[in-house]
Amino acid sequence: MPVKLIAVDMDGTFLRSGMTYDRARFAAQYAQLQQAGVKFVVASGNQYAQLQSFFPDIARQIAFVAENGAYVVEAGQPLFVGAFVPEAVARILAVLDDLPVRYTVCGKHSAYMHTRFADDYFASMQRYYHRLQRVADYRDIDDTVFKFALDLSGDPATDFNDDQLQHFMATLEQTLNASVKPVSSGHGSVDLIIPGVHKASGLRRLQQRWGIADSEVLAFGDGGNDLEMLAQAGFGYAMANGSARVKQVARYQAGSNNDDAVLDVIDLLLARQAPFA
């Protein structure tokens, strides 16, 4: 089989809009993938604790590239944990405090949200962060910090189109002297990640461990935080609902996440149909 590793983004890719997928159909596919020796990796910007919940029966068998590559786990064992140095955390917090955005600080043990943000927002973010704590001051966090998740959708002043969003991210990166890499993660969200630490770097760590070449990787994504992964994979698929930039980078295009397009492509792989013949 030309593919030895399948990597899937979750929101807008593997999951339907209601955060569901066809579990019975995927379970049947996963059994065939196991027989063929194909690794399955969840590659998402979301928290590891949340991602595990979608795969309760196999979470200890598969690998996760969580938090946009900052937390890599294989069979329940952490392989890599990224970290901002304390000086960078302090500098980032100082800049974010002057911006009209809501944001969550993401760490190894939990994610953290300031008490100044409304309870309904806190509740909505618990869908993505199953470990989420309130803090009165972000500077009191005692954890390994590896991501800042910005929500630009809650303020008309930050309701950007794609070009404006790219400008916002470029300006923020310049302001922080390239100590962070801003990436879009969909729905008006921007993640500030460690430069050089992304989904592709997380996959590369697993590939080196397993002896898998880029040409043997099948990857799916829809957002700006998938760009490196899709460019690196031999079979990079952009979702039909993905951004224009993603479609420019990916070599192939799948259907919509709401039509279970990832599972359709996996069927093509298992049947050894084009482009996997």
Residue 119 vs residues 32, 103, 124, 159: alpha-carbon distances, Å: 44, 14, 9, 22
Question: CA-CA-CA-CA torsion for 17, 22, 23, 29, nearest 10 degrees?
Answer: -130
If one counts every other C-beta atom within 10 angstroms of the C-beta of residue 59, the result is 17
Question: Catalytic pick from 9, 11, 191, 226?
Answer: 9
Q: Taking a C-beta distance cutoff of 8 angstroms, is the pair 150, 102 a contact?
A: yes
189-193 and 145-151: which strand pairing?
antiparallel
Whether the ω angle into residue 78 lies within 30 degrees of 0, i.e. cis, is no
User: Among 206, 227, 264, 248, which residue's Cα sits nearest to residue 9?
Assistant: 227
Q: Taking a C-beta distance cutoff of 8 angstroms, is the pair 48, 10 a contact?
A: no
- Looking at residue 219, its amino acid is A
If one counts every other C-beta atom within 10 angstroms of the C-beta of residue 210, the result is 15
140 catalytic, yes or no?
no
Residue 247 vs residues 1, 21, 165: alpha-carbon distances, Å: 25, 23, 18
- Looking at residue 158, its amino acid is T
- Helical residues (DSSP H) of the chain, grouped into ranges: 23-36, 48-52, 86-96, 119-125, 162-175, 199-210, 227-232, 244-249, 261-270
Q: Taking a C-beta distance cutoff of 8 angstroms, is the pair 258, 276 a contact?
A: no
Question: Which residues are known catalytic residues?
Answer: 9
